[in-house]
Structure 1
Amino acid sequence: MREIVNTNAAPAAIGAYSQGTTNGELVFTAGQGPLDPDGEVLEDASIAEQTERVLDNVAAILEEAGASMDDVMKTTVFLDDIEDFEEMNETYATYFETEPPARSAVEVGALPLGIGVEIEAIALVE
């Protein structure tokens, strides 16, 4: 059975989606952008700062579902500009220092709200 995951520690959905869903074994996060828990976009933030905020949001959703960053099996990274990959990757690596998950990273034409990075994750629930 599918359950909705919702936490005040990450920004509320700004459209017709949930922050995450789980079946009790896996949790899927929606793509998270660099918004604070109140929904404010980080203005003029570097890709490193945006990536940190994004991954903090992912971690908060996972925690609400009974998982952690150590349980992440796969992430997908969407970048507004693939030239930002190295800067994103340096920050990303600090969240997955040992045994990082599988990952895809792609450049997209544009991201909502003019953000530079969005990340979604799939994780095992403990």
Structure 2
Amino acid sequence: MGKDIIHTSEAPEPIGPYSQAVKINGTLYVSGQIALDAESGQLINENITEETHAVMKNLEAILRAGGLSFAHVVKCSIFVKNMDDFGTVNEAYGRYFKTAPPARETVEVSRLPKDVNVEISCIAVA
């Protein structure tokens, strides 16, 4: 079993004891990403649309570091602080999956790291 830890400086450093992603047997498991700017470490959360795009850009950077893209994503999990934001998050998220979108669930949670409004993780297969 060859477990590879994927890391890129183009996505924020983990804020806990976890890896940005782990690749094993051609499958990439990407940890939940929030809207942290990789360079400054600052949150991008002026509105839910910008926040969602920042999350997706972080996911994209990690996928790229693992040699994959959004085309390889088979499953996403979306966690939102307020389900009233579902439509806005869905619209921003959907721009990254124009055809053959992955399986997904979206759940409302009471709180997320750094009090962000959205966190997304994904699984991609080579």
Q: TM-score range by the shorter chain?
A: over 0.9
Distance 1:4 1:124 in 2: 15
Q: Equivalent residue for 1:40?
A: 42
Q: Equivalent residue for 1:111?
A: 112
In the TM superposition, 1:1-126 aligns within 5 A as 1-38=2-39, 39-43=41-45, 45-125=46-126
AA matched with 1:111: L
**What is the RMSD computed on CA atoms of the aligned residues?**
0.9
Q: For 2:76, what is the secondary structure of its paired residue?
A: strand
Q: For 1:40, what is the secondary structure of its paired residue?
A: coil
> Which runs of no fewer than 5 residues in structure 2 stay unpaired?
none
AA matched with 1:80: K
Distance 1:3 1:40 in 2: 28
Distance 2:91 2:81 in 1: 17
Q: 1:40, CA displacement in angstroms?
A: 1.4
Q: 1:24, CA displacement in angstroms?
A: 4.5
Q: Report sequence identity in percent.
A: 40
Distance 1:107 1:96 in 2: 22
Distance 1:16 1:118 in 2: 17
Distance 1:54 1:113 in 2: 14
Q: 1:56, CA displacement in angstroms?
A: 0.4
**Cα distance per residue 1:100-126 (max 9 Å; x no partner):** 00010000010011100000000012x
Q: 1:29, CA displacement in angstroms?
A: 0.5
Give the ranges of 4+ consecutive aligned residues of structure 1 lying more than 6 Å apart after TM superposition: none
Q: TM-score, normalised by structure 1?
A: 0.95
Distance 1:42 1:93 in 2: 19
